[in-house]
Amino acid sequence: MGHSLHLTVDGQEHTLVVDSRTTLLDALRDRLGVMSAKKGCDHGQCGACTVLVDGRRLNSCLALALTHDGAEVTTADGLAPEGELSTLHRAFLALDAFQCGYCTPGQVCSAAGMLAEAADDAPSVVTEDLEGPVELSEEEIRERMSGNLCRCGAYVNIVAAVSRAAEESR
């Protein structure tokens, strides 16, 4: 029951044959050996598998790989091309925005996607004026990062790191 699939992952092109049941996450981890995207719950309930698909943050565990045939997938590793850490990566490091590190690549991808959404003035549920420009207050960051669980409890530092990255990339 093989189907052909073409993916660009962190700038590298791959053509492979997958089972129709294979999720994008399992294609990355089990087929391509791309381990930056993590499996925490496999049901869209934790965010550890968050990657950027054509620039938007998605839970790769709830996407069939075949749905994304031809897509460009970026993991947290791909956000650091040639090993050059991005502003976000550096803020996470400097502010100790992780402990065990397992949710971290998902947090980084989610933050990257979220910063782009906010730059487009996409509102969140805590945005008071739905039509106004988005100010990335701590409250906004907390809400927008709530799709990424961290059991070590690094939220306070994650908010600080995302806030710093937002300021630096402004």
Partner 1 sequence: MSDLLTTTSVGTHQVRLDGPDKVRGRAPYAYEHPLTDPLYLYPLQAEIARGRAAHIDASAAEAAEGVVYVLTADNAPELASTDDGELAILRSAEIGFRGQYLGAVIATTPEQARHAAELVDITYDQDDHDVELREDHPAAREPESGSGDVRTGDVDTALAEAAVSIDERYSTPMEHNNPMEPHTTVARWDGDSLTLWTSTQGVHPARSTLAPVLGVEQEKIRIISPHVGGGFGSKGLPHADMMLTALAAQAVPGRPVKYAVTRQQMFSITGYRAPTLQHIRLGARADGTLTAFAYDAISMSSQTKEFPEESTKPGRMMYAGDNRRLTQRVVPLDVPVPSWMRAPGEAPGMVGLEIAMDELAVAAGLDPIELRVRNDPTTDPDTGLPFNQRRLVDCLREGADRFGWEKRNPQPRTRQENGWFIGMGVASATYPAGRQPGSVARIRRTPEGFEVSIGAADLGTGTWTVLSQTAADALGVPIGQVDLRIGDTALPNATVAGGSTGLASWSTAIVSAAQELRSEHGADPAIGAEAQGEAEANPAAEKFALHSFGAHFAEVRIQPTTGEIRLDRMFGMFSAGQIVNPSTARSQLIGGMTMGVGMALHEKGELDPRFGHVVNHDLAEYHVPVNADITDIEADWLDEKDPHAGPLGARGVGEIGIVGAAAAIANAAFNATGVRVRDLPIFGDAFLPT
Partner 2 sequence: MNPFDFERATDTAGAVASVADRPDAVFLAGGTNLVDHLKLGVAEPALVVDINRLDLTDIEELADGGLRIGAMVRNSDAAADPRIRRDYPMLSRALLSGASGQLRNAATMGGNLLQRTRCVYFQDTTTPCNKREPGSGCSAIGGYTRYHAILGASADCVATHPSDMAVALTALDAEVVVLGPTGERRIPVTELHRLPGDRPEQDTVLEHGELITALELPCARMGRSTYRKIRDRASYAFALVSVAARVDVDASGPAPIIRETSIALGGVAHKPWRARAAEAVLRGAEPTAETFLAAADAELEAAEPLEGNSFKIPMTRGAITTVLAELTGASEDLPETTTEDAHE
Please give the residue ranges that form the binding site for partner 2 (CB under 8 A). 1, 3, 19-21, 23, 42-44, 47, 50, 56-59, 61-64, 66-67, 69, 110, 113-114, 117, 120-125, 127, 130-131, 142-144, 146-148
**Phi and psi dihedrals of 8, rounded to 5?**
-105, 120
Q: Cα(116)–Cα(114) distance, rounded to whole angstroms?
A: 5
- Please identify, among the stretches 52-60, 115-123, 127-135, 149-157, the one whose residues bind partner 1 according to the rule CB under 8 A: 149-157
Per the CB < 8 A criterion, the answer to whether 5 and 65 are in contact is: yes
Neighbours of 93 (CB within 10 A): 12
- Strand ranges for 67-141 from DSSP E: 72-74
17 binds partner 1 (CB under 8 A): no
Positions in 92-121 near partner 1 (CB under 8 A): 92-94, 96, 98-105, 108
Give SS3 for 119. helix
Note the residues at the interface with partner 1 (CB under 8 A): 19, 21-22, 26, 29-30, 33, 35-43, 45-46, 48, 75-77, 79-80, 83, 85, 89, 92-94, 96, 98-105, 108, 141-143, 145-159
